Amino acid sequence: MIPMRALLAYLLLASMIGTAVEWGDRAEGELHWGEALSIGGYSLEVADFTPEERTPRMVMLHLRKGGELIATRALGPGESFSFDDAVMVRAEEVMMRDYLLDGSAEPRARVALILRAVPDLTVRVVPKEEAYRGGDRARLEVEVENVGMAAAEEVELEVAFGPGIPSAKHSISSLAPGEVWDGDPSTREVEPLRVSFRGPPVAGPQELRVEARARYLDPEGGVHEAVGGTSLEIFGPLRVFKYAEEEVRFGEESYVHLSVSNTGPRPQEVVLTDSVGRDFLTGATLEWRMTVPPGESEGASYTVTAKRPGEGQALPPAEATYSVDGKGYRVRSMAPVVDVVGPLVEVEKRASSSRVGVGEEVTVTVTAKNVGNRRAKASLQETVPPWATLVGGETELSLLLLPGEEAAIVYTLSCPEPGSFTIPATTVCYRDDRGTACTLESSRLRITVEEEEEATAEEAPGPEEGRDPPSAEAQPAPGSGGGFFWAVPALILMIFIAFDRYI
């Protein structure tokens, strides 16, 4: 009898050990009534507390998954419960009164929400190149890492490349937490899995989706899946290339070269178009029609000038259109990036006022700023117009301007004569470190010089200020137009009295 009891106890202990759950990620916090904490799609809310005078002190907790209530429990300090061996809820402490805050009663509980430890695989697919020609072999690297809290068992990886291309399959017995799948265990360093496939021949550019899907088990036998992927461009028989100098001087012309390559088995009739974008200018017509024989290339070139200095200015991609068996295709080049270097001085001219009186002064300010990315030696000289007199200030400037720097001259003019006048535009000359000279002009300024206005009628003195009353000659004569304005009110009054007698 005793051996039988020992056997039963052993079997019970073994079953308990075999079904022990390993716990992993957790969220915990001190919550008041109505507050909640969340982790992994689960949320735990404090619903109620036992009255303060009752013991043991307990907290009522609502457990939800995806917003749906799945369990309600009342727990005392140190008590816990688990749901489907997937999540555990634990009440660490239940506090009914905070004596540090004048003994105010505000119950709270320190609780924890703990998830079962499970494996979690991440899958990344990294192509060696972004684009491949149809029929060429494409090469990829697949990285698989266990970022979970438990081992992943019986891992099977399938890499699918699209219709008509056989999938690549790999397997490994286990991946421990934090472990990366080693594609070549013979080396000391951990390397990713390397897979390759031959791209399908295509008549025009197509996007090919590559997907890597890993299926695995957790220690409890639960099934999990992780997916990663990338997209590749498989191009057809035509490719377009656009080349430009990586660095050009501002103010100088530079060349842009285009090339269309045909790797297909037959000649292609191609329409090649291009544009220079918003940062460059060209005088060329950017459209070409050409026949590209199989295995050969055709090209075109033109010149551009930059509108202003600046690093990293992109030229738009060129585009070629062609057709195969009546279906049209479109191919684009890469967008080359150009650094445009050099100074660029901008000038601004303004006046303190555009309307002044005779003899008043107007202040003129001329500002020169280097908005380029190289230093410049700038000079400017103002000409005082013949209708004005220079009162003071500087009218000349000559100095070195670093990128982003500015300098200004300020002078004052007096305007002795009335009229409408123009202050001429300012000419600014500057040179770069190569001695290349540039000239630009500011806008012109218009100034109106007004005479002093005479006193208005409202400002003229009235009778009480000593003005004589109008003479008899100035009074309206009887029967004149002035008497009419007195006759009208009198007539209205008479009509009103006549009607009043009959009312």
pLDDT per residue as tens digits for the range 255-282: 999 999 998 889 999 999 999 999 999 9
Give the pLDDT of residue 104: 59
Instruction: Report the candidate in 436, 361, 375, 434 with the shortest Cα–Cα distance to residue 405.
Output: 375
What integer is the mean pLDDT of 335-356? Answer: 93
> Is residue 466 a part of any domain in this protein?
no
Give the pLDDT of residue 491: 55
Averaged pLDDT score across all residues of the chain: 85
- pLDDT classification of 479: cutoffs 50, 70, 90: very low
Q: Which DSSP helix (H) or strand (E) runs through 20?
A: none
64 and 134 inside one domain: no
pLDDT above 90 (res 229): yes
Residue of 451 and 138 predicted with greater confidence: 138
pLDDT above 80 (res 18): no
By mean pLDDT, which of 101-105, 114-118, 211-215 is the weakest?
Answer: 101-105
> Is residue 475 a part of any domain in this protein?
no
Give the pLDDT of residue 443: 86
What integer is the mean pLDDT of 24-30? Answer: 90
The residue behind tokens 């200018």 is 281
> Is residue 372 a part of any domain in this protein?
yes
pLDDT above 70 (res 122): yes
> Is residue 64 a part of any domain in this protein?
yes
169 and 255 inside one domain: no
Looking at the 3D structure of the chain, how many domains does it have?
A: 4
pLDDT above 80 (res 232): yes
The domain boundary residue, chosen from 235, 255, 270: 235
- pLDDT classification of 446: cutoffs 50, 70, 90: very high
> Is residue 501 a part of any domain in this protein?
no
> Is residue 478 a part of any domain in this protein?
no
Residue of 215 and 33 predicted with greater confidence: 215
Give the pLDDT of residue 17: 45
358 and 424 inside one domain: yes
Q: Which CATH number goes with the domain that contains 267?
A: 2.60.40.10
How many helices (H) and strands (E) in the chain?
2, 38
Q: Which DSSP helix (H) or strand (E) runs through 413?
A: strand 406-414
The domain boundary residue, chosen from 403, 428, 450: 450
Give the pLDDT of residue 199: 85
Instruction: Report the candidate in 359, 350, 376 with the shortest Cα–Cα distance to residue 436.
Output: 376
CA atoms within 13 A on the CB side of 65: 10
Residue of 377 and 488 predicted with greater confidence: 377
Q: Which CATH number goes with the domain that contains 60?
A: 2.60.98.40
Percent of the chain with pLDDT over 70: 84
> Is residue 259 a part of any domain in this protein?
yes
- pTM to 2 decimal places: 0.58
Q: Are 301 and 258 in contact (CB under 8 A)?
A: yes
Q: Widest CA span of the chain, in angstroms?
A: 153
Domain enclosing residue 51, as ranges: 22-116
